[in-house]
Amino acid sequence: MHLFIFIQINAFTSFLQSDKNMVLEQKRGIESIDLNQTFVFVKAPIETVASAFVRVRQAERWEQDVYDREIVTTGQGFIVFQFQEQTWTSIYNFGFVPGCTPLDKKDTQTLSSLLQTRTVYYRVSDTGGYIGYELYENGNFIETLDFEEDISFYFQSQNRQLQREDMGSVYGFIYDFMVEQDIYIPAIRRVENQQGYVRLLGPELENLERSDFERIDYLTLG
């Protein structure tokens, strides 16, 4: 089944601490946790990251510079983008197709090892009350945190020893972690209209232009 999608970044309501008056180049942290999202962040330019991800996942299609374009999705898709003046490239899990593997921690470690750089896996689910991350450096595990509201908490690190009570708010702790890593996580939502078009909404910025991005790419596995 073919689905036409319209890629665009528009205004969205901020949930956490980001300053609404802050320019995009300065934004860091998490825009919202009130959604379901999975990302892999790679500290490398988008051309390098997208090319490596195509090889790792054996992607069948790689559409480059898709900002404000209509494309057809035919399988498991991923949005890859990099903001101007930011060093991290983001890989966003765009939907899920049965039989295809969504973004996972293995992708994060593989890209870290392949590109010899730092990578972060991040997943949040307001539906399941879950949030967590995993950090790698040159393919080596550094730190992980998994938290499910009122159910479970797990933290392990090669660099620091912390207990649950040392962190205060887990959400605030993860927000601060992303700021420390120099990562900005925009809020992205899929909104489908009656004609079958999908629009990606976010982050909390008015009048974003193509010039705000190094590039936005779309990859599909089939």
pLDDT tens for the chain, residues 1 to 222:
344 444 444 433 344 444 556 776 778 999 889 888 999 999 999 999 999 999 999 998 899 988 777 777 667 889 999 999 899 999 998 766 677 788 999 999 999 999 999 999 999 999 889 999 999 999 999 999 999 988 999 999 999 999 999 999 999 999 999 999 999 998 876 655 555 455 554 444 445 678 888 999 989 886
Radius of gyration of the chain (CA): 17
Rounded Cα gap, residues 140 and 146, in angstroms: 18
How much is the pTM? 0.86
- The pLDDT assigned to 191 comes to 56
Gap between the Cα atoms of 89 and 183, Å rounded: 9
For the chain, the structural domain boundaries read 3-42+98-202
3-state secondary structure of 83: strand
Strand, helix or coil for residue 153: strand
pLDDT at position 77 is 85
What pLDDT score was predicted for residue 162? 93
Q: Side chain identity at 165, as an amino acid letter?
A: E
Tell me the C-alpha distance between 193 and 191, whole Å.
7
Q: What is the pLDDT of residue 9?
A: 46
Cβ-contact 167, 160 below 8 angstroms: no
* Whole-number pLDDT of residue 207: 54
